[in-house]
Amino acid sequence: MILKKLIDGLDEKELYGNVDTDISVITVHSKDAGEGTLFIAIPGTNIDGHDFLEDAFNKGTRAFITESPFDKPEITNIVVPDCRSALTKLASTFYDHPSKDLTLIGITGTNGKTTTAFLIEAILREAKLPTGLLSTIKYCFGTQILTASHTTPGPLELQKILREMVDSGITHAVMEVSSHGLKQKRVSDNHFDTAIFTNLTPEHLDYHKTMGDYLKAKEILFTELLSRSIKKNPTAIINIDDPSGQLLIGKIRRDTITFGINSGNIRGENIEVSLNGIKADIVTPNKRFSVESKLIGRFNIYNILAAAAAAVSLGISSEAIKAGIKKSEDIPGRMEKITNNKGIKVFIDYAHTGDALKNVLKTIRELTDQKIITIFGCGGDRDREKRHVMGKIAAHYSTLLFITSDNPRTEDPEKIIEEIERGVLDENFIKEESILSAHNKQNIYFAVQDRRTAIKNGISLAKPGDVVLIAGKGHETYQITGNEKSHFDDKEEAMHALKMCG
């Protein structure tokens, strides 16, 4: 594509050099620089792309977009006030604005994004609509299944995937939209048909600093992007039972559908929840119908309602909604049940916030009067304030507790565990050193840095009918210690531990 055409949509820019040059690749990484490449210098949290301009130049790049002039002979330099905004626009232009040719559904919120996305995808497939999915777990369309790099891909990766979807015949796309993705303008040039708000609870406060800033990031999808969408009647779908959802409704100036339990335009009534799944009635403005799901927990009612509301907004039949919800398979790492012949109920869940952990454990406690063994940790180099909170919640609802590592990154794993322990001790739990003395005891906990050992020991203490929750990592298949990433899968470890316990 000719650079002049590519940059035509940039409102504020200063041009230096020849803009009639041909661009075959856009990149933000100097390792991909070369002849025919447009290099965009993105200022990051830890690394500034401007520090790699010389490297890109030495590799043959002669076209640059920067926030300050780059003085080199025989180059083209476009200076803009915000390279992130420029990247988003250029990525969309380079791939010929694929979101315009898709029915695009975006989901944001702290918890429930992935489950809601999988449910919507299942419903759309039941409606015989070719559908793509971009989620925390995977990106997929047609026969293509890609490993997810982020919850919301960067602009270049996102637009490339959306273009591939359109070219392969996909008509509908469902995507999770993270607060990072919104604040970093990864999705700013997308045209959404439907935007969903699930809930807001404390998370990512190491990045957003305050809950107010966190909510403002989520609001962008509704107050800015949905307002700029060229689609006919773009619709906001809001959880009316969530306090932040109620605040958000007052800021949206367009069609809005609300959902909730016994409230909202789309309601859940006559709800039955068990360790085998959910049964409920869904009430819409025009119809009432019953649904069944393998999903577990009252909190999943909200994900089902959000998916149903999205389907209703798109004119999907109740038959397809019912079938999609019923046929939706176990979602990796979302209250994923590990089947075994020991009579022990083992669940893997991604819960890594206080609210998510509370939802899961409260559900389990309401559905069983037997022992609950919880195994979890908190990530390093992330929000430290939630560690005490999660420790307290875990102890409050559990019988036995194993505090362990969960991607400690560059922090000392023992220090993370100590911060979690403070919340556990608030609930009068007593620390045990040996599992040999733990049988038939309650309100005790273990601090076991090695996650594999924690899972093995936790499952070894379970008896038939007991519930073991392994929380925090969910679908992840790695452990990050220092700057090293190694293979680690909670599901694999749980299955191995079950085999070993006789």
Mapping DSSP to helix (H, G, I), strand (E, B) and coil, where does residue 170 land? coil
pLDDT at 3: 96
pLDDT at 415 over 90: yes
Domain identity same for 318 and 342: no
DSSP string, 221-246: IIIIIHHH--SSS-EEEEETTSHHHH
Domain identity same for 216 and 114: yes
Amino acid 147 reads: T
Which backbone phi and psi does 266 adopt, to 5 degrees?
-115, 115
Provide the H-helix boundaries in 314-353: 318-327
Amino acid 121 reads: E
CA–chain centroid gap for 420, Å, is 23
Residue pair 403/447 in contact (Cβ under 8 Å)? The answer is yes
Domain identity same for 40 and 174: no
pLDDT at 276: 87
d(CA 198, CA 241): 10
Which residue in 397, 467, 396 sits closest to 425, CA to CA? Answer: 396
| Vertex 219: Cα angle to 217 and 224 (nearest 5) | 105
Domain identity same for 228 and 317: yes
**Could you read off the pLDDT of 57-86 as tens digits, one per residue?**
999 999 999 999 999 999 999 999 999 999
% pLDDT > 90, the chain: 86
Q: Residue 80 has what DSSP assignment? A: -
pLDDT at 502: 62
Domain identity same for 300 and 365: no
In a domain, 40, yes or no: yes
Domain identity same for 315 and 386: no
Domain identity same for 138 and 57: no
Amino acid 330 reads: D
Mean pLDDT to the nearest integer, 171-184: 94
Q: At 301, is the pLDDT very low, low, confident or very high (cuts 50, 70, 90)?
A: very high
List of residues 6+ apart from 10 with CB closer than 8 A: 78, 80, 86, 89, 90
Domain identity same for 164 and 251: yes
**Could you read off the pLDDT of 111-140 as tens digits, one per residue?**
999 999 999 999 999 999 999 999 999 999
pLDDT at 464 over 90: yes
Domain identity same for 269 and 344: no
In a domain, 90, yes or no: no
d(CA 313, CA 118): 17
Domain region containing 50: 3-84
pLDDT at 255 over 90: no
**Could you read off the pLDDT of 365-406 as tens digits, one per residue?**
999 999 999 999 999 998 898 999 999 999 999 999 999 999
Q: At 450, is the pLDDT very low, low, confident or very high (cuts 50, 70, 90)?
A: very high
Domain identity same for 61 and 99: no
Which residue in 316, 331, 281, 285 sits closest to 301, CA to CA? Answer: 281
pLDDT at 145 over 70: yes
Domain boundary among 327, 346, 366: 327
* CATH label of the domain that carries residue 376: 3.90.190.20
In a domain, 364, yes or no: yes
Q: At 206, is the pLDDT very low, low, confident or very high (cuts 50, 70, 90)?
A: low
pLDDT at 46: 82
Residue pair 378/416 in contact (Cβ under 8 Å)? The answer is yes
* CATH label of the domain that carries residue 232: 3.40.1190.10
Phi-psi region of 381 (alpha: psi -120 to 50; beta: other; left: phi over 0): left
d(CA 11, CA 134): 30
Domain boundary among 84, 111, 136: 84
Domain identity same for 340 and 412: yes
* CATH label of the domain that carries residue 75: 3.40.1390.10
In a domain, 389, yes or no: yes
What H or E segment, with its residue span, contains residue 156?
Answer: helix 155-167
Domain boundary among 59, 84, 109: 84
- Please give the mean pLDDT across all residues of the chain: 94
Sign of CA dihedral 250, 255, 257, 263: positive
DSSP string, 98-138: GGGGSEEEEEESSSSHHHHHHHHHHHHHHTT--EEEE-SSE
**Could you read off the pLDDT of 364-376 as tens digits, one per residue?**
999 999 999 999 9
Q: At 209, is the pLDDT very low, low, confident or very high (cuts 50, 70, 90)?
A: confident
In a domain, 144, yes or no: yes
Which residue in 258, 274, 256 sits closest to 266, CA to CA? Answer: 258
User: How many CB atoms lie under 10 A from the CB of residue 13?
Assistant: 14
Q: What is the residue whose two structure tokens read 């080199």?
A: 72
pLDDT at 173 over 90: yes
List of residues 6+ apart from 30 with CB closer than 8 A: 39, 49, 52, 55, 56, 59
Residue 74, token pair as written in the block: 């025989």
Mean pLDDT to the nearest integer, 312-329: 94
d(CA 339, CA 354): 27
List of residues 6+ apart from 31 with CB closer than 8 A: none
Q: At 195, is the pLDDT very low, low, confident or very high (cuts 50, 70, 90)?
A: very high
d(CA 491, CA 494): 5
Sign of CA dihedral 16, 18, 19, 23: negative
For 217, 369, 448, 459, the CA distances from 466, given in Å and listed in that order, are: 41, 9, 21, 10
Domain count, the chain: 3
pLDDT at 500 over 90: no
Phi-psi region of 315 (alpha: psi -120 to 50; beta: other; left: phi over 0): left
Q: Going edge to edge, which strands form the sheet with 277-283?
A: 144-147, 138-141, 131-134, 172-176, 103-108, 194-197, 235-239, 256-261, 266-274, 277-283, 288-293
Domain identity same for 178 and 140: yes
Residue pair 39/27 in contact (Cβ under 8 Å)? The answer is yes
In a domain, 89, yes or no: no
Provide the H-helix boundaries in 276-412: 299-313, 318-327, 354-367, 385-397
Mean pLDDT to the nearest integer, 170-178: 97
Residue 356, token pair as written in the block: 């998510």
